[in-house]
Chain A
């Protein structure tokens, strides 16, 4: 913790000491700020505002009826189910992977870290494709699944699998560097005092990384609810059955039912905004608790 102190100091120092010689002239400053605002407006702000204005174009009654449409409701339900399965599974994996990687030394560790990152490098479309190759009709297990009357592709299990794949690394990636930085002195002290492995995990390790954990869960959840490409390949687009919210948006849009498409999309946009707010709160909280720790140690 005390390692951070010098950079904190220089940060403070930098702010105080930034004089005319190390800052730009006012017109340079303002034109840079204006360029940034124009860039963010063109690519982020205008499209975001457009989602809501398009959604309300036909009035609030039409907006509401698009949302309580049975197909819309079943797509909301399926999205929630997929996220409710994918998030805890990837959370458990993230904690296990971070424990092994951060607290122990073993051969091939850096390869393992790279492999955990793989799903980020794979196109969502390919993520869907690989499950079709395994569970699809012509796939490895295709015929034996038919024999047992189990549907994976064009059904909910396929959607859940694809969602797990695309959100696979998020929690692990947040936790590994954090737990590496924490070291293992506290856990070893717990062990000496007679705590069991699970007690150490629940009472020492997880409380120490709670903000990073929450951050990872928020990112996982946002991506799980919003995934389109991977889910699109495995879903089969059966209305009211295997459509998640993003797929429902696509169907409505392709039927030129723009107001309804944007109405469902606006729910996802609200979810994104809530995600950004939670993310900022978590970042602020973790910075605050890091600062408090620093104060305690010095």
Chain B
């Protein structure tokens, strides 16, 4: 690329406003959480963030998020595959519906899932005789988090599948590979970075989720209480330092995930653009 002087106006104004607004809305308020926490001694901080009830909430939040993201990786890949490769009536409607979790307010999703999966709901009443209880158990948390993360894997894998060249699959077939071998030796290596990115995005979203979970979880301490709810509970007891300490733990984990996802996407775009 030839370097030439940029003659367009508005650089100082647009960048200045961007940094001003970013600082005002995001950076300064977020730094408040870290400054508030620094008023605690390290010993107190550690005692708060490793209290048994808080530890149990991490286990539930991260465990359920991981299971939900895995469910979404498997079924999201399948959904993307079907939407790209096959033709059937109503496909466009199902394709559009995949984005529903982005558009539906989480509180609405929460009460709707609870109504459907509780013991007298449409699906819950059908599972109950088999001894499966979903609403008001940790399983309910997994269901809500699966709903929330559903679009991520589909929407990251779909464009990669669309751009896949048919020639490589034809070559594999002409060399004697069956369909399954073609899938895991030719197609899967091409789509797995996208799959991993979608999985990470779904996982990151699930960790912070609150609205859809609290209605279906039952919110029993030590059993079905997620970490964001711990923060709310502490706030309602005016334990600001405690709430902030737990929030800082979550913030640090979320930031690490964000950087990992950005790294993944960078690596992934380098791979697909053919630069080695």
Output the least CB separation between B147 and chain A (Å). 5
> In the bound complex, what is the Cα–Cα distance between A245 and B107 (angstroms)?
10
Closest 5 CB pairs of A and B: A226-B105, A123-B208, A228-B211, A21-B173, A229-B210
- Taking the complex as formed, is A81 at the interface, i.e. its CB lies under 8 A from any CB of chain B? no
- Taking the complex as formed, is A5 at the interface, i.e. its CB lies under 8 A from any CB of chain B? no
Q: Is the CB of B254 within 8 A of A123?
A: yes
Q: Is the CB of A51 within 8 A of B108?
A: yes
> In the bound complex, what is the Cα–Cα distance between A191 and B32 (angstroms)?
43
- Taking the complex as formed, is A287 at the interface, i.e. its CB lies under 8 A from any CB of chain B? no
- Taking the complex as formed, is A72 at the interface, i.e. its CB lies under 8 A from any CB of chain B? no
- Taking the complex as formed, is B215 at the interface, i.e. its CB lies under 8 A from any CB of chain A? yes
Q: Can you offer 11 A-B residue contacts whose CB atoms are under 8 A?
A: A10-B165, A36-B94, A51-B111, A97-B14, A118-B255, A126-B250, A126-B251, A184-B8, A226-B104, A269-B112, A272-B104
Q: Is the CB of A246 within 8 A of B15?
A: no
- Taking the complex as formed, is A280 at the interface, i.e. its CB lies under 8 A from any CB of chain B? yes
Q: Is the CB of B32 within 8 A of A133?
A: yes
> In the bound complex, what is the Cα–Cα distance between A111 and B19 (angstroms)?
12
Which of B75, B106, B215 makes the CB contact (< 8 A) with A229?
B106
Closest to A24 in B: B179
Closest to B33 in A: A130
Which of B22, B88, B146 makes the CB contact (< 8 A) with A43?
B146
Size bracket of the A interface: 35 or more
Output the least CB separation between A185 and chain B (Å). 11
- Taking the complex as formed, is A216 at the interface, i.e. its CB lies under 8 A from any CB of chain B? no
- Taking the complex as formed, is B131 at the interface, i.e. its CB lies under 8 A from any CB of chain A? no
Which of B42-50, B52-60, B191-199, B240-248 faces chain A?
B240-248
Q: Is the CB of A276 within 8 A of B96?
A: yes
Output the least CB separation between A36 and chain B (Å). 5
What per-residue 1/0 map shows which CB atoms of B152-176 lie under 8 Å from chain A?
Answer: 0000000000111110011001100
Residues from chain A with Cβ under 8 Å of B96 in the complex = 276-277, 279-280
Q: Is the CB of A228 within 8 A of B107?
A: yes
Q: Is the CB of A130 within 8 A of B30?
A: yes
Residues from chain A with Cβ under 8 Å of B274 in the complex = none
- Taking the complex as formed, is B121 at the interface, i.e. its CB lies under 8 A from any CB of chain A? yes
- Taking the complex as formed, is B257 at the interface, i.e. its CB lies under 8 A from any CB of chain A? yes
Q: Is the CB of A133 within 8 A of B33?
A: yes
Q: Is the CB of B26 within 8 A of A133?
A: no
Q: Is the CB of A118 within 8 A of B26?
A: yes
- Given that A130-B30, A253-B215 are known contacts, is A44 also in contact with B100, CB under 8 Å in the complex? yes
Residues from chain A with Cβ under 8 Å of B123 in the complex = 42, 46
- Taking the complex as formed, is B220 at the interface, i.e. its CB lies under 8 A from any CB of chain A? no
Q: Is the CB of B116 within 8 A of A50?
A: yes
Q: Is the CB of A23 within 8 A of B30?
A: no
Residues from chain B with Cβ under 8 Å of A126 in the complex = 33, 208, 228, 231, 247, 250-251
Q: Is the CB of A13 within 8 A of B106?
A: no
Which of B112, B163, B257 makes the CB contact (< 8 A) with A7?
B163
Which of B27, B78, B165, B255 makes the CB contact (< 8 A) with A14?
B165
Q: Is the CB of A272 within 8 A of B113?
A: no
Output the least CB separation between B275 and chain A (Å). 16
- Given that A124-B208, A129-B243 are known contacts, is A22 also in contact with B170, CB under 8 Å in the complex? yes
Q: Is the CB of B103 within 8 A of A222?
A: yes
- Taking the complex as formed, is A117 at the interface, i.e. its CB lies under 8 A from any CB of chain B? yes
- Given that A115-B22, A132-B240 are known contacts, is A36 also in contact with B107, CB under 8 Å in the complex? no
Q: Is the CB of A17 within 8 A of B170?
A: yes
